[in-house]
Structure formats: C-alpha cells, structure tokens
C-alpha cells in the first residue's frame, strides 16, 4: 500500500479546486475522522476530544448514520462538523460517475453538510466540479496529513509519529473512527491531542 503521509505542495497546486489545508494565522489544527459513525470508536473519539475542548470534523458514511443515528446526533450536539463520505464508501476510480453521484446524493439525505471527502481520496476533476454545482453544493475536502491509522502494516507508534512530525498550523489531519483503524487511532489520538495542546494549539472543526 503506497500513500504519502504529507501532501506535497505540487499536488495542492495541480488539484487546487480541492481543500488541502486551512488558511489560519494562529496555531490551529484541524482533526478529521472518516468512516463513522461507529458504536464503539466514535464515542471514544468524542470523549477524547472533550478533554481538550477540541472540535473536529467527521466525514460520515450514509449507511452508518442510518444505523447509529444517536451517535451522529451526539457529534453535532457537541459542536463538531460533519461531512458526506458517500453512502457506501465507494471508490471513485472503480465506480461510474453516475453511480458515484447517486450514492453521494443518497447520503446527502441523511448528512446535512456542504463538505465532502472521497473515500480513498479517489475522485476525478470532473466529479469535483459536479459536486460544486448548485445541485450538490459540496466542497471536496482532502488533507494535509494522513495518520496512516488505516494501515495494518504500521505500528501504533509510527501512526503517532506520522502526525507529530508532519502536522503544523492549518493542517487537516485524517484519522478513522473505524474497526480497522481502531488500535492505532486509539493509541495515537490521545497523544496527538496532548502533544499539540502542550504547544499551544487549538483544535478546530473544518468550516467552509
């Protein structure tokens, strides 16, 4: 599995109609969580965030919102933002444009948000433009730093280092509140919060 921990500057320039980081002059970090809500892992994340009065962004799968509406409701009630992550975690490079858009539209019935993140980061420029249209009204949110918590081949310590060594002010950091990522996420997230809070960072939700 090949992936870049930190998004290079040239990628941001080539794909500039997507959001890769947040423009801020202060020491602010933008944590995000993909694939929830999950009955065990999302509450863990919410509890940890609360310890630091931290706000974050949750890119939710539509079918999971339907399965766990109370957890989805808690995310919103605690001041976090939500985003559309398709209804069934579709891979944009393995799905027709029509099917992909229909799946996003289905999730949009349950997820009231102007934010969208493509699963696996796979989405064409054509689809990004389609989502920006009034029909969808969705801005594609990518990331500055991948924690790598989804990668079963790395250690939980490496997951932590991926964030600590690469995140800075304005960075959008990706974690996952999912079964696959849980061991690494549950180790790294509390330490990331502690480390950056000690350096005077605030944790903000993505707002476009």
Residue range 69-95, pLDDT digits in tens: 999 999 999 999 999 999 999 999 999
Residue 204 counted as domain residue: no
Parent domain of 190: 9-150+157-198
Total-model pTM: 0.97
Active-site annotation holder among 34, 35, 149, 177: 34
Q: How far apart are CA 134 and CA 45, in angstroms?
A: 33
Residue 203 counted as domain residue: no
Residue 99 counted as domain residue: yes
Mean of per-residue pLDDT scores for the chain = 97
Q: For this structure, is 38 an active site residue?
A: no
Residue 16 counted as domain residue: yes
The CATH number linked to 116 is: 3.20.20.370
Kindly state the average pLDDT of the residues 32-55: 98
Active-site annotation holder among 35, 38, 176, 177: 176
Kindly state the average pLDDT of the residues 193-208: 97
Residue 37 counted as domain residue: yes
Residue 48 counted as domain residue: yes
pLDDT higher than threshold 90 for residue 16:
no
Structural domain count, the chain: 1
Residue 1 counted as domain residue: no
Residues 6 or more apart whose Cβ sits within 8 Å of residue 58: 32, 33, 36, 37, 42, 75, 80, 81, 82, 83, 177
Give the pLDDT confidence score for residue 208 in this predicted structure.
86
Measure the CA angle with vertex 5, ends 56 and 80; round to 5°. 5
Residue 50, Cβ neighbours under 10 Å: how many?
Answer: 11
Kindly state the average pLDDT of the residues 33-60: 98
Give the pLDDT confidence score for residue 2 in this predicted structure.
86
Residue 208 counted as domain residue: no
């Amino acid at each position: 599995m090949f992936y870049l921990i930190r998004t290079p500057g040239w990628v941001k320039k080539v794909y500039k109609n997507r959001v890769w980081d947040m423009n801020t002059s202060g020491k602010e970090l933008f944590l995000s969580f993909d694939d929830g809500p999950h009955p065990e892992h999302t509450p863990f994340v919410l509890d940890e965030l609360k310890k630091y009065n931290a706000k974050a962004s949750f890119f939710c799968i539509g079918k999971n919102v339907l399965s766990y509406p109370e957890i989805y409701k808690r995310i919103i009630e605690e001041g976090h933002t939500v985003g559309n992550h398709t209804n069934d975690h579709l891979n944009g490079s393995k799905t027709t444009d029509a099917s992909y858009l229909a799946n996003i539209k289905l999730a949009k019935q349950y997820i009231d948000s102007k934010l969208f993140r493509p699963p696996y980061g796979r989405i064409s420029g054509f689809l990004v433009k389609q989502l920006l249209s009034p029909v969808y009204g969705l801005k594609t949110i990518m990331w500055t730093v991948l924690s790598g918590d989804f990668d079963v081949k790395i250690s939980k310590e490496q997951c932590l280092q991926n964030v600590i060594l690469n995140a800075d002010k304005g960075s959008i950091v990706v974690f996952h509140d999912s079964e696959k990522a849980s061991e690494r996420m549950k180790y790294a997230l509390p330490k990331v919060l502690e480390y950056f809070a000690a350096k005077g960072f605030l944790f903000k939700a993505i707002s476009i």
